[in-house]
Amino acid sequence: MFCTNCGSPVKDTDNFCTACGSSMNTPVRTPPPDEPAAPVQYSQPVQHSQPAQPAPRAPEPPVASSGNPAVCPWCGADISADQLSCPRCGATVKAPSIRSESGWAELPGRKDMAKLQFGNSFCQIEGTYVPVADVNLAASDSIYFTHHVLLWKDPQLNITTMPLASGWKRMFAGLPLIMMQAQGPGHIAFSRDAPGEMIALPLQPGEEVDVREHLFMLATSNVVYDWFSTNVWYTTQADNDKETHYPVGMFMDRFSAPQAPGLLLLHAAGNVFVRDLAPGETMLVKPTALIFKDPTVEMQLHFEHPRAGFSLGFGWGASSWNNRYYWLRLWGPGRIAVQSVFDRMEGESRYLSNCSPATEQRW
């Protein structure tokens, strides 16, 4: 292990660092003496007091003022009283949950170097702009990841490609998507190529989550990976050029943990916002902003035509484009998450010739 103060290597049995003299007895995550559980000073979420507003049905986090909560507000894991961050997802436990008046909850804060556990392995999340998932894999554990997220690894740690049924269908940046597997013991670390947040999704047996493609970083080997066709597409036509676009990707990843609990790590660009949709409650989101959803949440295209007092179109086909805005309609019940940085959609301004089932609104 290494000294948490100066980084020098120290033996596991050492009480003090031989290089700087820091005590090794203090557990890494033990904080300085507890601040009194007074009202939190920083950016207290605005709890809406206007009863007129339909209250969003997001799970209410336990109130932090009455000592330690028993469950993690983010992943629901049991937390013992002396823990300040959740051992399963790394979320800071006492931080106030930050929720907009409209009901979107921000990803819970996480201290730099927060540590989470899965199986006998640990994962430390380092850095704040483009966080790194630094995994200390135990000999009994293995994880899988996509090839382009690897940052560094111990030389002796073995990585292999993972056979995927019909994997050739999946592409990333023009190259086939290669799923790789790392078997402990050893260290291996991952990061992606955009400033953003790391999302830890511990999956309980029976839980499933759908993730938009290429946001996946890694999963423990007991997480089952599958994908399905999104059936969200539209076709544009310019002269004889016909092109089909998939605003949420042609495929969506589905992760589940059928038997044992597993861990899924995602990386989203910018900030992450989550909300729970009640049965039948709908939300229109930018298709490329969707991160994940519960499988119970359904989705389809939605078009909006803003009203204009003059004709925006010209020539034939003007009516098929006609200043149209593209949305992804999501309806509950279930949880959805969006990211604040998203890609521009392809073909948005071209003439639309065909599309998957969609709803429409003309203002």
Partner 1 sequence: MNPAAPLERIQCQWCQSMNEKTALTCRACGAPLDIRNLVSESGWREAPRLRDMTEFQFSSSTCQVEGEIVPVAEIHLGANDSVFFEHHIMLWKDDNVPLSVLQLPGGLKRAFAGMPFIISVATGPGRIAFSRDATGELVVLPLHPGMEIDVREHAFVLASHQIDYSFVRVKGLANILFGGQGMFMDRFVTTNSPGLVLLHGYGNVFERKLKAGESIMVEPGAFLYKDSSVHMDVEFQKLGTGFFGGTNMSLARMTGPGRIGIQSMYVHHRTE
Rounded Cα distance between 100 and 106, Å, is 8
- When the beta carbons of 136 and 222 are compared against partner 1, the nearer one is 136
- When the beta carbons of 88 and 324 are compared against partner 1, the nearer one is 88
Shortest spacing between CB 159 and partner 1, in angstroms: 7
- When the beta carbons of 3 and 209 are compared against partner 1, the nearer one is 3
Contacts of 324 (CB under 8 A, 6+ apart): 303, 304, 305, 352
Rounded Cα distance between 39 and 253, Å, is 41
Q: Where do contacts with partner 1 occur on this chain (CB under 8 A)? A: 1-7, 9, 28, 112-113, 115, 122, 124, 126-132, 134, 136, 147-148, 150-155, 159, 161, 163-164, 167-168, 173, 175-176, 178, 180, 187, 189, 191-195
Shortest spacing between CB 2 and partner 1, in angstroms: 4
Contacts of 342 (CB under 8 A, 6+ apart): 269, 286, 288, 289
Shortest spacing between CB 340 and partner 1, in angstroms: 14
Task: Decide: 320 and 352 in contact? Cβ < 8 Å.
Answer: yes
Token representation of residue 339: 């990211």
Shortest spacing between CB 168 and partner 1, in angstroms: 4
- When the beta carbons of 23 and 319 are compared against partner 1, the nearer one is 23
Judged on CB neighbours under 10 Å (0-12, 13-18, 19+), 160 is exposed
| The total number of residues written for the chain in this structure | 363
Helices (H), 151-288: none
- When the beta carbons of 156 and 240 are compared against partner 1, the nearer one is 156
Rounded Cα distance between 223 and 208, Å, is 10
- When the beta carbons of 147 and 254 are compared against partner 1, the nearer one is 147
Shortest spacing between CB 14 and partner 1, in angstroms: 14
Shortest spacing between CB 81 and partner 1, in angstroms: 24
